Structure 1
Amino acid sequence: MHPNSAFRPKEDDLAELLVREIGFAAIFAGTPDGPRVAHAPVLLSDDGTTLQFHLARGYALTRHLAGATALAVVQGPDAYVSASWYADADQVPTWNYVAIEMEGAATKLDDAALVAQLDTLSTLHEARVGANPPWTRAKMNPALFSKMTGAIIGFELRITAWRPTVKLSQNKPADERERVAAGVEAAGHGALARLMRHLGGDRDGA
């Protein structure tokens, strides 16, 4: 999390919204072999207190995760910011980005909870892609589905700390923020430019 408090989202639900919409995270934890990371689709509970995911058994992280304190990071849009976009020549380049960190203890899910997680994930994302009819595990051979789920382990992270960073030039005056947004947009990062214009407008002089 960025140490500058100007880069904290003011909207209470923004971090949860980003996690739900992006739906994919890097999961970090310490292991006896050193720090390890895995990447997985995630499901945030309705009340924002738990995050579920599953990992292949072969990940270096998987066998050490149950009972460990873990960090899940959801990355939003990001882009390089050229110092030439500022009026003041005494500036340096930087990077604007969105990142949501969630920390907590990880527990292993039982088989029923893992299957429920997979069903929820497929229902959610099949609806998003507009599949008609949507895929469900009912289309699979049950024995093959069971064999494939045996190759993964489900986890739940009970979130004890949220650390969101929404670094969108909020610490710059409005005119400079707009120049940066225009530069970012011209470089092909339209989503980040839109976020800058939406979230940065109430922080002049921060």
Structure 2
Amino acid sequence: MHPNSAFRPGQDDLAALFVREIGFAAIFANTPDGPRVAHAPVVLSDDAATLQFHLARGNALTRHLDGASALVVVQGPDAYVSPGWYSATDQVPTWNYVAVEMEGMARKLGDDALIAQLDTLSASHEARIGATPPWTRDKMNPALFSKMTGAITGFEIRITAWRPTIKLSQNKPADERERVAAELEATGHGALAQLMRHLGGDRESA
């Protein structure tokens, strides 16, 4: 989390919205072999209290996660900001970005909960891509599906801390923010530019 409070989201549900929209995370935890990270699609509960994901059984984290404290990071769009884009002088390079950290204790899921997680994931993303008809596991040979799910392990983290950073030039005047947004858009970072325009004025400071 960035130490400048200007980069905290002004809306209470904004961090959860980013997690749901991005849907992919890095999961960090300590193991006897040292710190490890895994990358996985995630499912945030409706009340934003728990986060589910699954890992391959052979992943370096899988056998250590049950009962362990974990840190989950969801990264949004990011880009370099040149000091030459400001009208004011004596500026320095910086980086605009969106990142949401969640912390909590992980627990292993049973088979039924894992399958429910997979169903939720596929239904959500099939809807996003507009698949007609959407893919469902009913299209698979049940024996093959069972074999494949046997190669992964599901987990759930009860979230005890949220640490979001929405760094979108909120510490700059509105005209400077728009100038930076326009430059970002011109250099191929349209998603970040749009976020700046919609969210970057939440907490303007002089």
TM-score bucket (shorter structure):
over 0.9
Of the structure 1 ranges 55-64 and 82-91, higher mean CA displacement relative to structure 2 is found in: 82-91
Tell me which amino acid in the other structure corresponds to 1:150: G
Alignment of 1:31-46 (within 5 A): 31-46=31-46
Q: 2:95 is matched with which residue?
A: 95
Q: 1:86 is matched with which residue?
A: 86
Shift of 1:204: 2.8
C-alpha distance in 2 between matches for 1:204 and 1:52? 35
2:10 paired with 1:10: yes
Alignment of 1:46-61 (within 5 A): 46-61=46-61
1:184 alignment partner, SS class: helix
- Percent identical: 82
- After superposition, give the CA deviation of every residue in 1:155-206 in whole Å (9 maximum; x if it has no partner): 0000000000000000111121111111111111111111111112243325
Tell me which amino acid in the other structure corresponds to 1:121: L
Q: 1:185 is matched with which residue?
A: 185
Alignment of 1:1-206 (within 5 A): 1-205=1-205
Tell me which amino acid in the other structure corresponds to 1:3: P
- After superposition, give the CA deviation of every residue in 1:51-86 in whole Å (9 maximum; x if it has no partner): 000000111111111110001111111111001012
C-alpha distance in 2 between matches for 1:75 and 1:34? 23
C-alpha distance in 1 between matches for 2:29 and 2:163? 16
1:78 alignment partner, SS class: strand
C-alpha distance in 1 between matches for 2:88 and 2:121? 48
C-alpha distance in 1 between matches for 2:61 and 2:94? 32
2:201 alignment partner, SS class: helix
Of the structure 1 ranges 152-161 and 172-181, higher mean CA displacement relative to structure 2 is found in: 172-181
C-alpha distance in 1 between matches for 2:177 and 2:36? 37
Q: Gapped runs of 5+ residues in structure 1?
A: none
Q: Gapped runs of 5+ residues in structure 2?
A: none
1:25 alignment partner, SS class: strand
CA RMSD of aligned residues (A): 1.0
Count of paired positions = 206
C-alpha distance in 1 between matches for 2:152 and 2:132? 27
